[in-house]
Structure 1
Amino acid sequence: MASHTRLLTGLDGQRYHFDAGVFCLELLLTGGPGPVGEAYEILFGPDDLAEWLLDSRLNDTAPVRREDLDITMADLSHVVQFRNALWHAAEAMAQGKAIEKGHLEVINAAVGEAPRPQIDVVTLRRHWAAPVTGKQIAAMAAREAIDLVGSQRLRQCAGDNCYLLFLDTSRPGKRRWCSMERCGNRNKVREFRSRSGAAS
Structure 2
Amino acid sequence: MTTFWPWLSLAGLGAFHGVNPAMGWLFAVALGLHRQSRRVVWLSLIPIVIGHALSVATVLAVVVAFGSTLDPSAFRVGAAILILGVAAYMALYGHRHRVRVGMTTGLAGLALWSFLMATSHGAGLMLVPAVLSLCVADHAGELVMASSLPVSLAAVAVHSGAMLIVTAVLSLAVFTWFDLAILRSAWINFDRLWTLALGVTGVALLIQ
Instruction: Calculate the TM-score normalised by the size of structure 1.
Output: 0.30
Higher relative contact order (CA 8 A, sep 6+): 2
**Structure that is richer in strand per residue:** 1
Structure number with higher helix proportion: 2
